[in-house]
Structure 1
Amino acid sequence: MGGIDNLGIETKIEEREDFVNFKVKPLFVTFPKNEEEVVKLVQYAYERGIPIVPWGAGTSLTGAVSCEECILVDMKNMSQILEINEVDWYVRAQPGVNLEFLNRKLMERGFLLPPDPASFFLCSIGGAVSNSSGGMRGVKYGTFRDWVLALRVVLPTGEVIQVGEPFRKNRAGYDLVHLFTGSEGTLGIITEIWFRIIPVPRETQVSLLSYMPDLDSTAGVIQDMRRAGILPEIAEYIDNDVVHALNSQLNAGLRESKGGLLMLRVLAQDLDRMMEILNRWGGDTVQLNQEEWERVYSLRAQSAIALKAISKEMYVEDIVVPVSRLMDAIKRIRKLEEKYQVKMPIIAHIGDGNLHPNILLSDRQRAEELFEEVGKVAIELGGSVSGEHGIGVQKAKLMGIQVKAHGGIKVLEIMKQIKDIIDPKGIMNPGKYVELAYREAKSDR
């Protein structure tokens, strides 16, 4: 294997694919056990000019880890929680730690790391940071970008740096922590992460499940909720096609209704105002106990799995629009369904305007055309083509269109220059994200 055996690192030859079937065809897959072995691998790749790509748990939805003839670095063996600091309120861990496992250990100590992508029971924390993943608590707590304090990173040259500090206030220099957070493995390989944690909230929360007459009404609820100054911990939506998929594939036993389900978790003090808003928009609402809520919450997290089980091809959209433009976005998505004569079941972190229309279409060309049109809806409404799934290869063209439209080509040029400075040989997860977005935007001038 071209000298890789001499490094003394576990290595296999195998092909893989991510959650939505982007292919990964590496020269070999490696399994480092520590930072020193990651350095050896990166130096090996750098000296030979071989592409090198970090792999977390394979839950990517945009082709962010797709590659051919690369060294794939599987981080699963670097899976230790190194420190839980109950005074400075941080946890330090290696990137291969499973997110659900980490939060279970934190909760045993009375703490919480709030971001909870739907793949929380599958994903690694390194992948979540590299993608700046979001999740169902995003409406209140934001994405992983808001919770990373510091990182250790092996750069494409094999050098190791630490960026950030394990405390909240730090104004020493440019914000490199948030440069690497969300960089999709294109700037280096993360080997340690410091997360800010909080005590498990003690306020009394009320869990509500509301059967809505239609998605427009759901958008109305969210807009009125915000006007009323109610900040929910969770505001999630799944349409009736998603409910049907959960029932048929996972025996969910959920009630099916024309307008789908709105899931809300609000402070007890906000319950009366929240119920008034729901009633105004025609919601048929029930209050859930903790056991019922946890069951529905788990089902919501498995929505994409249920949809994937009923379709050979699935294109998972991830657009964000200002909450004030939710109704406009929904109407335009429904018009696209009519135009293409295809259903797009919608899963949404609707409380912060993050919509996931899922394109279930076996005709790849038509699916890609529709995918692009949905992304352009977000751009034209002042939103973004990605809130949490990232860019990878699938959304690079749309990213270029968005950045050009909202910030200008110079912004893309600066991003590309950053990539070139940190990765002078262009080996770190190349040919996607910023590089591809810049190339697409430049060719479209």
Structure 2
Amino acid sequence: MDDLEKLGLEVSKETREDFVNFKVEPLAVVYPKNEDDVIKIVNYARLKGIPIVPWGAGTSLTGAVACQGCILIDMKYMSNIIEINDVDWYVRVQPGVNLEYLNKKLMERNFFLPPDPASFFLCSVGGAVSNSSGGMRGVRYGTFRDWVLALRVVLPTGEAVRIGEPFRKNRAGYDLVHLFTGSEGTLGIITEIWLRITPLPKENLTAIIAFVPDLKSTAGIIQDMRRGGVLPEISEYIDNEVVKALNSALDARLKESEGGLLLLRLQSEDAEAMKEILKKWGADFTVLSREEWERMYSLRAQSALALKAISKEMYVEDIVVPVSKLAEAIERINELEAKYKVKMPVIAHIGDGNLHPNILVRDKEVADVIFEEVGKIAIELGGSVSGEHGIGVQKAGLMGEQLKLHNGLKVLEIMRDIKRLIDPNGIMNPGKYVELAYERARASNP
């Protein structure tokens, strides 16, 4: 890759892995410092016919950054907060900004960016946007897709464009912002991001930890909460295996109970109604102080790291089902555990039906079978195979199955055609996501 160095770019040669050990074996890793550098890299790759894969912080869970023989574009040097606008309520950043650092700076101005993926202390903003990541506050505030206002993107042709506007109401043209948000690096390289921000909440919030009899009871609690019109800021679940992992790996000193625990933070005016629901389902609960809540929030964010510390072989699932189908989904996940005699500790953004069964098994072939069966549970219950982790290569077949069944093959064909239109040379993170989903759905079409 001497030619890249001649263009004035910093280049290295190394192999990497993402969070769940998908291999990244590039021809070269290149470190742009500005948009002009990104354009140089894209033009070089296009002329040479070399695939390009953007890299944020490597917290991908689905093989979205896996590659062999690509140019890996590491965005770590493009990490400036360009502007915090406290009148128009947006922040403008480069993609390499760490999400936790960004929120610290926003909070100094009495603002915050609500989406909080569990990797918030590790991940980059660009990666979170490219993946449309979610998080613990998703039940109330949604995912990154709901907070991106505008983007600057270097297209696979080497052209730089700005899409969207840095304000909320904009009806000019097709919604390209939401096309690129969540596109997993398959349509272009994001170089600047305008994100909507909001003032820190002023309402009085009550935090509750509840030890539940079992996961099915938790489903009943969440369904009753929604029937009662209670909209929490956070409603998270971790089962007892995850609690044990936190105690073992992080010395969390949490109470262990058969059913695991539920973490809730909601408006104080809803607290009494919530307590009655918890009593109905036999949960043992405690109201947390601010300091206790912050500790539990941090532990919940580190749950996947704790599991990974005790089981190096881990397959992280991410499905969404309608909240009305939660109990059925949980029952079917429990049946899979019994059928395959494996542990599948569950972490869940349970308030919006987003379940993360973590398959702990060393036999990859068995794990792949279980992984597919968990995804099919979501499809059959009218849900989605991914709520926030994305598709990459790992879930392309399941995505094809979901869209074919729920929406029809034509919808996948439109997505495939959009990819071809924007990336005519097929260099931008190719062979994944929409392309692979279409191929697999087409191959299985009766």
Superposition TM-score, scaled by structure 1 size:
1.00
Task: Tell me which residue corresponds to 1:340.
Answer: 340
d(CA) in 2 for partners of 1:409, 1:48: 33
AA partner of residue 347 (structure 1): I
Task: Tell me which residue corresponds to 1:315.
Answer: 315
d(CA) in 2 for partners of 1:231, 1:197: 20
SS for the counterpart of 2:269 is: helix
Superposition TM-score, scaled by structure 2 size:
0.99
TM-superposition CA deviations, 1:69-112 (whole Å, max 9, x none)? 00000000000000000000000000000000000000000001
Task: Tell me which residue corresponds to 1:44.
Answer: 44
AA partner of residue 270 (structure 2): D
d(CA) in 2 for partners of 1:414, 1:282: 49
Task: Tell me which residue corresponds to 1:408.
Answer: 408
Following superposition, the deviation at residue 134 of structure 1 comes to: 0.1
AA partner of residue 136 (structure 2): M
Task: Tell me which residue corresponds to 1:12.
Answer: 12
SS for the counterpart of 1:242 is: helix
d(CA) in 1 for partners of 2:6, 2:416: 35
Task: Tell me which residue corresponds to 1:209.
Answer: 209
TM-superposition CA deviations, 1:100-144 (whole Å, max 9, x none)? 000000000000100000000000000000000000000000000
AA partner of residue 103 (structure 1): N
Following superposition, the deviation at residue 411 of structure 1 comes to: 0.5
Task: Tell me which residue corresponds to 1:119.
Answer: 119
1:166-245 aligned within 5 A? 166-245=166-245
Task: Tell me which residue corresponds to 2:248.
Answer: 248
d(CA) in 2 for partners of 1:346, 1:354: 11
d(CA) in 1 for partners of 2:5, 2:178: 35
d(CA) in 2 for partners of 1:350, 1:335: 19
d(CA) in 1 for partners of 2:47, 2:423: 13
AA partner of residue 398 (structure 1): L
d(CA) in 1 for partners of 2:41, 2:8: 10
TM-superposition CA deviations, 1:220-261 (whole Å, max 9, x none)? 000000000000000000000000000011100000000000
d(CA) in 2 for partners of 1:2, 1:179: 35
AA partner of residue 301 (structure 1): A
d(CA) in 1 for partners of 2:177, 2:251: 43
Task: Tell me which residue corresponds to 1:301.
Answer: 301
AA partner of residue 200 (structure 1): L
Select between 206-215 and 3-12 the one with higher mean Cα deviation. Answer: 3-12
Unaligned 5+ segments in structure 2 are: none
Task: Tell me which residue corresponds to 1:367.
Answer: 367
SS for the counterpart of 1:244 is: helix
Following superposition, the deviation at residue 2 of structure 1 comes to: 4.8
Task: Tell me which residue corresponds to 1:427.
Answer: 427
d(CA) in 1 for partners of 2:198, 2:277: 31
Aligned length: 445
d(CA) in 1 for partners of 2:312, 2:133: 25
d(CA) in 2 for partners of 1:50, 1:29: 13
d(CA) in 2 for partners of 1:84, 1:168: 16
SS for the counterpart of 2:218 is: helix
Matched, 1:138 2:111: no
Task: Tell me which residue corresponds to 1:85.
Answer: 85
Q: CA RMSD in A?
A: 0.5
1:25-104 aligned within 5 A? 25-104=25-104
TM-superposition CA deviations, 1:292-313 (whole Å, max 9, x none)? 0000100000000010111121
d(CA) in 1 for partners of 2:352, 2:32: 38
TM-superposition CA deviations, 1:317-337 (whole Å, max 9, x none)? 000000000000000000011
SS for the counterpart of 1:118 is: coil
SS for the counterpart of 1:415 is: helix
AA partner of residue 125 (structure 1): V
d(CA) in 2 for partners of 1:110, 1:310: 38
1:252-267 aligned within 5 A? 252-267=252-267
SS for the counterpart of 2:97 is: coil
SS for the counterpart of 1:386 is: coil
Matched, 1:384 2:384: yes
Task: Tell me which residue corresponds to 1:291.
Answer: 291
d(CA) in 2 for partners of 1:68, 1:271: 52
AA partner of residue 394 (structure 1): Q
Task: Tell me which residue corresponds to 1:356.
Answer: 356
d(CA) in 2 for partners of 1:194, 1:238: 33
Unaligned 5+ segments in structure 1 are: none
d(CA) in 2 for partners of 1:282, 1:91: 44
SS for the counterpart of 2:230 is: coil
TM-superposition CA deviations, 1:140-169 (whole Å, max 9, x none)? 000000000000000001001111000000
SS for the counterpart of 2:287 is: strand
AA partner of residue 44 (structure 1): Y
Identity %: 73
Task: Tell me which residue corresponds to 2:281.
Answer: 281
d(CA) in 1 for partners of 2:200, 2:388: 24
AA partner of residue 261 (structure 2): L
d(CA) in 1 for partners of 2:95, 2:4: 23
d(CA) in 2 for partners of 1:248, 1:6: 50
d(CA) in 2 for partners of 1:6, 1:53: 21
AA partner of residue 436 (structure 1): L
Following superposition, the deviation at residue 5 of structure 1 comes to: 1.5
Task: Tell me which residue corresponds to 1:107.
Answer: 107
